[in-house]
Amino acid sequence: MKDDFKLPEDCTDMREVRIGVDTTDRELMELLDRRFGYMRAAARIKTDRNVVRDEGRKAEVIENARADAENRALPADELARMWDDLVETSIAYEMEEWDRIRA
C-alpha cells in the first residue's frame, strides 16, 4: 500500500486519495506516539505533581497551533480546539505516568 502513496497534488482518483489519507493517519499516530513519549519524559523529570498542569504553557501550545494553522490556510479555530483536546489528554496521561512511576 505504501508503494501506491502519492502526495495530494499527484492523486488522480479516490483510491489514491484514500491510500494517502490512511498513510498520513499512520504517520500522525507515529508522531503522537513520540509526543506522548515526551509526556512520559516530563513525568519522569518533574519532581512535583502540581507542576504537571501549566496553564500558561497550555495556552502557548494552543496558540502556536492556531498560528501555524492560519499560516497554512487551515481551519485555525477548529484545529485549536483539537489541540486543546490533545493538550488535555496529554496532561491527563502525564499525571497518570507521574503517579505510576512513583507508586
Q: Mean of the per-residue pLDDT values for the chain?
A: 96
Band (97; pLDDT cuts 50, 70, 90): very high
- Average pLDDT on 71-87 reads 98
Band (4; pLDDT cuts 50, 70, 90): confident
pLDDT for position 14: 97
Q: Which domain holds residue 72?
A: 2-102
What pLDDT, in 10s, does the model give residues 36-53? 999 999 999 999 999 999
The CA distance from 59 to 37, in Å, is: 21
pLDDT for position 2: 60
Q: What percent of the chain has pLDDT over 90?
A: 96
Q: Is the pLDDT of residue 1 over 60?
A: no
The answer to whether 33 touches 55, Cβ cutoff 8 Å, is no
Which CATH number covers residue 52?
1.20.59.10
Domain count, the chain: 1
The CA distance from 62 to 36, in Å, is: 16
